[in-house]
Amino acid sequence: MHSEIIINSNPREIRVALMENNQLVELFIEHKSNKGIVGNIYQGLVTKILPGMQVAFVDLGLEKAGFLYVGDIDVLDMLDLDDSEGNGIPLAPAMEKEGEDKPQRNLDHGIPIQDLLTEGQKIIVQVAKNPLGTKGARITTYISLPGRYVVYMPTVNHINVSRRIEDEGEKERLRGLLADIGNPGEGYIVRTAGLGCQKDDFLPDLNFLHRLWENLGKNSDGSGGPRLLHEDFNLIFRSIRDLFAQDGARLVIDSKDDYQKCIEFCSEYLPHLVERIALHDSPIPIFEHNGLEIEINRSLDRKVWLKSGGFISIDQTEALVAIDVNTGKFVGHSDPEETILKTNLEAVREVVYQLRLRNIGGIIIVDFIDMVSEESKEIVWNALQQALKADRSRTRILKISELGLAEMTRKRVRESLTQTLCDPCFYCGGKGFIKSTTTICYEIVREIQKMVCQNRDGKSINVEVHPAIYDLMFEEEGSFLEETQEKYNIEISFQINQKLHQEKYKITTT
């Protein structure tokens, strides 16, 4: 598969587009003023322990405290044990890398969090998930340092291989190789890029990671308050490390300064990639040149059309993402089941593509068009499983239900594209709708009725409204206003206020 990494870098933001067969499949954006913190390592201070929830809050020196769950605590380190004592305490790495294998974490070690931590204690933690909404960052005491070919876990005695490397013989070879050249008692995961690598390929990676951990240890002397100990690479270097792995892949960047930094970085760590890095020298902006701006704007639309004339609609809520499949303009030929199956199969490809492009995570419900045949459901489910193999994020899907629903989860490690590029609508407050003008008119009528019943002393009432409400009020409720004024001997006047929200109004008495 031909892949290309397109990087647009300027003093305000970095945008990285991953192209596969000339199609945009993933987009990463990092604003210089709001850089993500996943992978950063901090010296933190435990500020609060909640035994009922088995969580602790840790001050990292950031705006929001980090969230530490009991299962993310290195029990051996906290109790000053080693696994040679035969405690049977589970081991686990810090962060679940996309597409990488990991030791299974057993959270039932039976040790409550209040026996592991105390308020005011200083601990070394790593950010596993960026802050989202009102939630602080999810953190862990299991430290992991990713390199080009290896993820290094200094606190874990475990060696494993990316699950994307399927050949068992190759897995055993790589495990044995890391056991020989790695530090005894420490952990390593061979990344997908390590497939076929030899000892000389791994050594520079290990030397760099071991040196990094050693320097980090010197900085974390326990003195001072909460502070940053290690900052992960910026988006450009993370892209080189994590995406620039496939044979024949090419990287094009439009910043001369960052181009030079990429050349220097790869010359030191990845010399075989230097010749595949190019500087964009066209006067046309790099994303515009590759047709990416249009694709990015389309990725924010609620409705996505399929080639057959059908479409999918994507609605993101607080709890889950709902994707609805519709036949739209596609009516097929003679067999309705065949028409439905064709639309659903086309939707499968588009759904997976949109999940990757928009970086949609969490719980996802896909409402396929109802299929009568169990065979058709099986075909669609198998197609969905096959399409998800290209996705670097870990996913899990359940069988299609009798209602035609496919339930799945997709690992969420950063904000979705919509959350990154958009703000909630200032007018509707993110609801996606506002009360109709008719509804507001009737609300005002009811409010006036309540006021005149409570105040029968002949006071006048003044109402300030949005222009649209003003127009409708006199079109539909003019007779009510006249009757109310005559019945209660009260004057009701309306004024237009251009600055008012359509749902808002002001009623005063004089």
Token pair of 323 as six digits? 């994707």
At residue 234, the pLDDT reads: 87
Per-residue pLDDT at 504 exceeds 90: yes
Q: Mean per-residue pLDDT for 104-126?
A: 79
- Helix (H), strand (E) at residue 447: helix 437-454
Within the chain, which residue ranges are assigned CATH 3.40.1260.20?
A: 437-509
Q: Burial letters for 304-317: b for 16+ Cβ neighbours within 10 Å, e otherwise?
A: bebebebbbebebe
In this structure, the number of other CB atoms found within 10 A of the CB of residue 238 comes to 19
At residue 498, the pLDDT reads: 92
Query: Using one digit for the tens of pLDDT, what is the confidence trace for 416-457?
Result: 888 888 888 888 888 888 999 999 998 988 888 888 887 666
At residue 502, the pLDDT reads: 92
pLDDT confidence tier of residue 87, bands split at 50, 70 and 90: very low
Query: Using one digit for the tens of pLDDT, what is the confidence trace for 16-63?
Result: 999 988 899 999 998 877 777 888 999 999 999 999 999 999 999 988
Q: Mean per-residue pLDDT for 110-134?
A: 88
Strands 66-69 and 138-140: parallel
The CATH number, out of the four listed (3.40.1260.20, 1.20.210.10, 1.10.3720.10, 3.30.70.520), of the domain defined by the range 437-509: 3.40.1260.20
**Residue 47 burial (C-beta neighbours within 10 Å; 0-12, 13-18, 19+):** middle
At residue 332, the pLDDT reads: 62
Across the strands, what pairs with 325?
A: 312
At residue 222, the pLDDT reads: 64
Q: Between the ranges 95-99, 103-107, 184-188, where is the mean pLDDT highest?
A: 184-188
Question: What is the distance between the alpha carbons of residues 308 and 340, in angstroms, rounded to a whole number?
Answer: 11
Q: For 73-77, 140-144, 506-510, which range has the lowest pLDDT when averaged over its residues? A: 73-77
Instruction: Indicate the SS3 state at residue 362.
Output: strand
N-terminal to C-terminal alpha carbon distance within the chain: 75
Question: What is the distance between the alpha carbons of residues 39 and 390, in angstroms, rounded to a whole number?
Answer: 24
At residue 88, the pLDDT reads: 30
Within the chain, which residue ranges are assigned CATH 3.40.630?
A: 299-421
The CATH number, out of the four listed (1.10.287, 3.40.50, 1.20.140, 3.40.630), of the domain defined by the range 299-421: 3.40.630
The letter for the amino acid at 429 is G
Across the strands, what pairs with 152?
A: 145, 188
DSSP 132: B
Domain covering 3-34+235-294 assigned CATH 3.30.420.60 in the classification: yes
Question: What is the distance between the alpha carbons of residues 242 and 484, in angstroms, rounded to a whole number?
Answer: 71
Please, what is the average pLDDT of the chain?
A: 85
Q: What is the 3-state secondary structure (H, E, C) of 104-123?
A: CCCCCCCCCHHHCCCCCCEE
- Helix (H), strand (E) at residue 25: strand 23-31
Per-residue pLDDT at 92 exceeds 70: no
pLDDT confidence tier of residue 321, bands split at 50, 70 and 90: very high
**Phi/psi at 249 (5° precision):** -65, 150
Within the chain, which residue ranges are assigned CATH 3.30.420.60?
A: 3-34+235-294
Q: Are the C-beta atoms of 19 and 6 separated by less than 8 Å? A: yes
Q: Mean per-residue pLDDT for 147-176?
A: 89
pLDDT confidence tier of residue 476, bands split at 50, 70 and 90: confident
At residue 166, the pLDDT reads: 83
At residue 91, the pLDDT reads: 30
